[in-house]
Amino acid sequence: MALLCRLPWLQTCRWGTAQTGRLTGCCMTTGTESYVDWTWVTSGTWMDQAHSVSPKPGMVLLSTPLSKTLLERMWHRTWPHLVADGGATVLQATAPELLPELVLGDLDSARPEVLQSYRDRGVEVRDLSHDQDTTDLEKCLNTAQKDFACKRIFVAGTFAGVQGCFDHTLGALNALCKAEVQGINAALLSDDSCCILLPKGRHCLTAPRQSCCGLVPLGGPVRVTTSGLCWDMKDAVLEWGGLVSTSNGLDEAGDGLVWVDTDGTVLWTCNNVP
């Protein structure tokens, strides 16, 4: 049975006529053509839809603030759970009963007693400080793929506006780029914001009603066509210094799905409407 059919609020699939599809890795195939399904990012977490994805997406917990509500909701819908260094301190403080599969990184942020308390409870704490060429987030994404064969990963935590460290935000976006090259579909998800890197191809997304959305290239210009947005684009060239899509939103008269066709890597972002 198709993944999309399990979402109860979903009326019809706008592209292709069939509601059946075959899950191939992260790609769905309808009667028409294949696309990457990203609806698992927001519908199962912000929108709390009854949602089952098989296999479950993995989760990487950052060392930045995240509400207990969202943390727990994501936790129970994901496996494995990897904690990036200082994320151990956050997890301990927010939901001490939750045990991750792995804590890893250069381990220069998490408090030593916190790390020890996870070791004492049988959690592997992996010291990767010998590798100074990758960030803790990149280490987590690599490990999720190599050790757990993850293809879809939530990166959970506030990724913008944390103590003014905008360099960390940019670093997180670059981690998505590196993951994409390795065939991982990763999404940044915080309580109020979401970023997904869409590689070349066709993509299906959701966003809460009345959320504000954007589509912006990270590298060179990209040509996109969309449907399901307030201001859709047809063969529009998005580029820095030229046209980018910001302050966009869901077409309220639509079915809640956004479709993006892109000839290159483009960043999708939307916010969560409380």
Q: Does 167 bind a copy of itself (CB under 8 A)?
A: yes
Residue of 273, 215, 209 lying closest to 246 (CA atoms): 215
Residue 239 near a copy of itself by CB under 8 A: yes
Contacts with a copy of itself, 184-223, as mask; x by CB under 8 A: ------xxxx-x----------------xxx-xxxxx---
Choose between 193 and 225: whose C-beta lies nearer to a copy of itself. Answer: 193
- Give the total of residues touching a copy of itself (CB under 8 A): 48
Residues in Cβ contact with 30 at an 8 Å cutoff, skipping those fewer than 6 apart:
13, 15, 16, 17, 18, 21
Contact between 130 and a copy of itself per CB under 8 A: no
Note whether 98 binds a copy of itself by CB under 8 A. Answer: no
Between residues 113 and 235, which has the closer beta carbon with respect to a copy of itself? 235
Angle separating helix axes 136-148 and 166-181, nearest 10 degrees: 20
**CB 167, min distance to a copy of itself, A:** 3
In this chain, which stretch among 70-78, 93-101, 116-124, 262-270 interacts with a copy of itself, using CB under 8 A?
262-270
Nearest distance from C-beta of residue 198 to a copy of itself, angstroms: 13
CB atoms within 10 A of CB 120: 8
Q: Which two tokens stand for residue 182?
A: 């390795």
270 near a copy of itself, judged by CB under 8 A: yes
* CB nearer to a copy of itself: pick between 112 and 241: 241
CA distances from 261 to 164, 202, 252 (A): 34, 4, 20
Rule CB under 8 A: is residue 226 a binding residue for a copy of itself?
no
Shortest distance, position 54 Cβ to a copy of itself, whole Å:
29
CB of 165 to a copy of itself, least distance (A): 5
Residue in the block written with tokens 């929108």? 47
- Residues paired with residue 153 on neighbouring β-strands, in sequence order: 58, 186
Give the strand order in the sheet containing 81-84.
124-127, 102-105, 81-84, 58-61, 152-156, 185-189, 193-198, 266-271, 212-217, 245-249
Q: Which listed residue (116, 170, 183, 209) binds a copy of itself by CB under 8 A?
A: 170
Which residue from 31, 55, 161, 183 is in contact with a copy of itself, where contact means CB under 8 A? 161
Q: Enumerate the H helices of the chain as residue ranges.
A: 39-43, 68-76, 87-94, 112-120, 136-148, 166-181
Which residues of this protein are in contact with a copy of itself, per CB under 8 A? 135, 158, 160-171, 173-174, 177-178, 180-181, 190-193, 195, 212-214, 216-220, 239-242, 244-248, 265, 267, 269-272
